[in-house]
Every structure is written in C-alpha cells, then in structure tokens.
C-alpha cells in the first residue's frame, strides 16, 4: 500500500451492513498517512455511531446539514470541496440514485451535490444486496456517475450478509485505499511500458532442495504498483513470492534464474523502462539430481556454475539510452563504491543502492534506506516505505523519459 502522507481524505458513510467496514478503511487511510474526516447519513448512524469515527479521526463528524453547530464545525460545502479526495464508503444504492439525480436532502447527498468530480476525485465504493446492485436503476445510476467523472471501486462477488451470493460485497479495504492512492497519483507514465523483476530465484540441485535468498519481492511489487498507478503498462516478472499482485499489473511467475532471463528477454521488445529488483541467484548447480540426494558422507560438495547476468546483458545490448535501465545493489556494508562501479559496468541509468544490514532496510521489511546513484551524482534518501521509494522511482522514470517519444 502506498503513502497518503498529509493528504486530506473526506469519507462519507451510508446506511448499509458494510458501514462497520468503513471503520477499518478509515484506519488504513490513516496508517498510510492521510488526515481523515467523516460525514455520515442519518441511516448510517443506525449501523455505526459517529462517536466511533470521531474517536479514531480526532475530528468532529458531520451528521446534519440543518444543524447550526454542525455547520459551524465544518460546513457541507467545505466538506465537499476542501479535500484531496472524497470517498463514499459504503455507498448505498440510495446515495448512488440521489447523486445521479442531483438530490440533496440530507448531509451526504448535499455534500455530493457540491462536488466537482473532474476537479477533485470523488470515489464511490458500493455495497448492497445482489438484486439491488443488479437492478437496472442502480446500474443506470452507476453509468451516469461514471460519465460525470465519479469513480467507482467495484464491489466484489461472494456471500453477502443478507444470505445472497453474487456481486455487491464491499471491496476489500486495501483495494479501496489503493483506489484512493491511484486517484491521487499523477498519471506521468501513460503510454509507457515498464518491466519490473522481483523476488528471489530458486536453483534446485535435487527435487526437494534449492539455493535461494530471503528476498520477498516487496520492493519490486511496490515499484510495479507505483508505475501502474502512474498509468504505465507494467509487466512484473517474479520469482516465488507470496504477495498479492498489484492492481493493473500483468505478471509472469518464474522459478530459476534461467527462466527469469528467458522471460525478461521475451518481454523486452517495446519496453521503455526495465527495473531489475529481483535477487537473482548468481550460481546454479552444475548437475541437478533426478532423485533426492542421500545423506552419505560427512562432507558433501556441490559444484556451481554461473547464471546469466541479466542486467549486464541488458546494458550491453542497449541501443543508445533505450530502454531506461534501473538496477539495484543490495550490499552487506557501505554500497556506494560498488554501486558506482555497477552503474558504469552494467551501463545503467540508475542504481538503487542499499546496505541490507542497516536499520529499517533490507529483506522482508516494509521500509528501506536507499541511495540513488546516477552519472550525475548520489542522492541519499531517508528511511522510506518501499511504496514511497516506488513513487520516487516513478518520478525518476518520468523525468528521464520526458522528451523521448513513447512507442
């Protein structure tokens, strides 16, 4: 999940069983750094009390339009317009209908009437019984709202609280927060193709044993997610990872370095940027035993041979500055000298260097402390979330690609 640091997210809650899930969504928005304020319909308050939202946001909750004290705290026009994004969660069939028809008869519908969705994003995350969702009126209202620039976070299909099975279940809070982040991300990579590698490789030497490393793929998945949010067409080639695929990203799963090499070469044509975050095994076993190696001698030796160096091969085969090439140097110790040498020897545009032994950095954690090493110099970044690093790299890609024609 990405950063929403200091972004003002206004959340409008409607009356439905999923209203309690809006509490989790607000918590996740806050975790991503957002400043959240909540408005509730009168019917929403029958499902969750305003006090819950007030307690977690530390801000007054807008519950009425015609109450002088509510309007003193924050007026409905301010709630509609003084934000970076407005999120309606859960959006009832009723609120979709009222917004499509331009009705403002209570606080949330009146707020919506005062929005300008093409100027500042407004998202609906609908949740309702399948019959209500599939009703022609609701589908028509969703179409009208989309045409007017409102964004819809599509509901999931599954078993609903009312006993029905089908579409209408509120999207997961994580997916709703991703949609908020995407709505706030400048689309600086539209028309660009980005290839990202991530995760470890596995080099088997018998059917049940392999050489590998602790890479989880987190950094690469976050970079792929950030590039997709910025509008790029992203292919993520990854070794064995247990992370959810970021929205809008196509993936290719591989196991060995040889497979990763083949997948990268197959997907290279037409790519504008390659980001090699994968922790590719430098060596593989010369011979792979068809059966499990038995415990025999006290000392066993394993003969290793070099795997292809994908980054070096990409650097050597570049035509001019295309594709833009970003490599990673994860070192156990000060990485800058090595990163500078790697930048030159592998003909990269950028090496993202980090010391995996430093606090807040390395494998399996959500943060990293990296330096950006280019021919122009070194920029040392503070400890950042891997998502924020992904966003920083997107800025680098957009700046470097500016002026070069998209295919």
Ligand X SMILES: Cc1cc2nc3c(=O)[nH]c(=O)nc-3n(C[C@H](O)[C@H](O)[C@H](O)COP(=O)(O)O)c2cc1C
* Residue numbers at the binding site for ligand X (CB under 6 A): 14-18, 41, 43-44, 92-95, 127-128, 132
Q: Shortest approach of ligand X to residue 16 CB, angstroms?
A: 3
Among candidate residues 96, 111, 105, the one with its CA nearest the CA of residue 144: 96
Q: Which is nearer to ligand X, 128 or 388 (CB)?
A: 128
Round to whole Å and give the CA distance between 330 and 217.
13
CA 214 to CA 9: how far, in whole Å? 36
From CA 62, how far away is CA 82, in angstroms rounded? 14
Displacement of CA 167 from its chain's centroid (Å):
24
- Phi and psi for 386 in degrees, rounded to 5? -65, -30
The answer to whether 327 and 350 have CB atoms below 8 angstroms apart is yes
Residue nearest to ligand X (CB): 16
Spatial distance between the Cα atoms of 12 and 354, rounded to a whole number of angstroms: 42
Question: Residue 9 or residue 14: which is nearer to ligand X going by CB?
Answer: 14
C-beta closer to ligand X: residue 128 or 276: 128
Minimum CB distance to ligand X, residue 10 (Å): 16
Rounded distance between C-alpha atoms, residue 309 and residue 396, angstroms: 24
In the complex, what is the shortest distance from the CB of residue 171 to ligand X, in angstroms, rounded to a whole number? 13
End-to-end CA distance of the chain: 30
- Least gap, CB of 104 to ligand X (angstroms): 12
d(CA 407, CA 268): 13
Whole-number minimum distance, CB 98 to ligand X, in Å?
Answer: 7
Q: Which is nearer to ligand X, 87 or 127 (CB)?
A: 127
Q: Between 44 and 326, name the residue whose CB sits nearer to ligand X.
A: 44
Active site residue: 99, 162, 241, 348, which one? 162
Note if 162 is an active site residue. yes
What is the rounded CA–CA span in Å between residue 133 and residue 394?
Answer: 37
Q: Which residues are known to be catalytic?
A: 162
């Amino acid at each position: 999940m990405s950063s929403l640091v200091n972004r003002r997210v206004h959340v409008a809650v409607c009356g439905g069983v999923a209203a309690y899930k809006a509490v989790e969504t607000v918590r996740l928005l806050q975790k991503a750094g957002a400043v959240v304020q909540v408005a509730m319909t009168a019917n929403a308050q029958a499902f969750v009390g305003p006090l819950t939202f007030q307690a977690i946001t530390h801000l007054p909750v807008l519950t009425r339009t015609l109450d002088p004290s509510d309007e003193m705290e924050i007026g409905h026009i301010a709630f509609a317009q003084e934000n970076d994004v407005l999120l309606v969660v859960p959006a009832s069939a009723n609120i979709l209908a009222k917004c499509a028809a331009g009705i403002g008869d209570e606080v949330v519908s009146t707020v919506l009437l005062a929005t300008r969705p093409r100027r500042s994003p407004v998202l609906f995350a609908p949740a309702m019984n399948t019959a209500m969702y599939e009703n022609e009126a609701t589908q028509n209202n969703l179409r009208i709202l989309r045409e007017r620039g409102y964004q819809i976070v599509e509901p999931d299909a599954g078993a609903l609280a009312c006993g029905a099975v089908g579409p209408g279940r509120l999207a997961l809070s994580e997916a709703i927060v991703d949609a908020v982040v995407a709505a706030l991300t400048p689309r600086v990579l539209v028309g660009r193709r980005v290839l990202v590698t991530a995760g470890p490789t596995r080099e088997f030497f018998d059917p049940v044993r392999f050489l590998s490393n602790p890479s989880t793929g987190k950094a690469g998945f976050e970079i792929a997610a950030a590039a997709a949010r910025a509008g790029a067409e992203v292919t993520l080639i990854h070794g064995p990872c247990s992370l959810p695929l970021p929205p809008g990203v196509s993936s290719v799963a591989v196991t060995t370095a040889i497979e990763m090499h083949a997948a990268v070469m197959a997907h290279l044509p037409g790519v504008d940027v390659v980001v090699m975050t994968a922790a590719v095994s430098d060596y593989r076993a010369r011979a792979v035993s068809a059966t499990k190696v038995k415990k025999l001698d006290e000392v066993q030796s394993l003969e290793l041979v070099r795997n292809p160096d994908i980054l070096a091969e990409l650097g050597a085969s570049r035509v001019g500055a295309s594709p833009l090439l970003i490599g990673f140097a994860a070192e156990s110790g000060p990485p800058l000298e090595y990163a500078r040498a790697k930048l030159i020897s592998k003909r990269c545009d950028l090496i993202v260097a980090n010391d995996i032994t430093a606090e807040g950095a390395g494998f399996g954690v959500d943060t990293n402390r990296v330096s950006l090493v280019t021919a122009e110099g070194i920029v040392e970044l503070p400890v950042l979330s891997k998502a924020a690093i992904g966003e920083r790299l997107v800025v680098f890609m957009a700046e470097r690609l500016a002026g070069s024609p998209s295919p």
